Structure 1
């Protein structure tokens, strides 16, 4: 396996925003860490918070594509990562979420193609180290990864309802108990056999 280049966080931010600016996205500043107009949240916990009213149809922006680097804090509520910090290698309380957003414009085909282009052509991640997950019934995303991107089926993992309830899945995104929701797809990087942990969906996926 090839070893990818190393980047600073500043370079990653800049590369991300420049890439999606080139794809016609408006660059939007990070919303405040403490949202001023959302009484349902103590802290901004994801990149979509400042676009919530757009997704709900209550607000219309002057653009249909956006990209941002959102400062997030998860220490309670639905997205509470605090209990996972120190137990997994991927949970933090504070982090910056890179987001590209489409408001009634492009959909899965472009989102998948651009994510792959960014990872493999801009950041030069070795394609043979990348695995993807899709929701169990999302045949469209599965076919795009397999046929358009060319990922072998052995590295495309279907994830079903693995959290004890219908649509409660690592690959089914929900804003809240009601509201915007739908299947999602994720990309994972295999660090190699010297790092503990298995592929997504396996019993030892968290190491």
Structure 2
């Protein structure tokens, strides 16, 4: 599958589930936000929605956001050339809910997208090669046992669910503001 096909399949999947496909914002950070020089994540264009400063005419969005990471928490610049997976420029596929659905639906959507049949618009990946990560807790924030339970309900074997700390499985916009546990799906290439 080509990158363009994967991108379109992702966007089509979420569009068919009520998400507005929103175009990528500029890779240059917003002029009115001095905290962001470059767009380094898919959520940057939705920052004011997360902060409750803005409302839009949709509560679900899907994007393919052009991103540049050359500093900060997720600085990939120092790893370019040393690993096969680090780049400074990439497109981040993202699906977002603004008060519409939460973890249970997000996990169900993610698992269906990656393991569901190709002829139904999904990716058809072999579930036995997939691992998921959850937040193990730390710094006064409890472990995300809800995510563990939801992944188990989705059919992920218990031994394919790994817990990690804040560095790997905790999302935050900055030192203050919206934040919380994250969960990721990883493909074991063997």
Q: Normalising by the residue count of structure 2, what TM-score does the alignment of the two structures yield?
A: 0.90
Aligned to 1:132: 132
Cα separation, 2, equivalents of 1:155 and 1:31: 35
Q: Could you list the runs of 4 or more consecutive aligned residues of structure 1 that deviate by over 6 angstroms after TM superposition? A: none
Secondary structure in 2 matching 1:43: coil
Q: Which has the higher helix share?
A: 2
Secondary structure in 2 matching 1:18: helix
Q: Deviations over 1:46-91 (max 9, x none)?
A: 1000000000011111110001100000012333110122233322
Aligned to 1:156: 161
Alignment pair present for 1:14 and 2:17: no
What stretches of structure 1 of length at least 5 have no aligned partner? 1-6, 161-167, 193-207
Secondary structure in 1 matching 2:186: strand
Cα separation, 1, equivalents of 2:4 and 2:32: 29
Q: Deviations over 1:144-189 (max 9, x none)?
A: 111x2111111101113xxxxxxx3301111111111100001100
Describe how 1:184-203 pairs up with structure 2 within 5 A: 184-192=182-190
What stretches of structure 2 of length at least 5 have no aligned partner? 117-121, 137-142
RMSD: 1.1
Aligned to 2:139: none
Q: Normalising by the residue count of structure 1, what TM-score does the alignment of the two structures yield?
A: 0.83
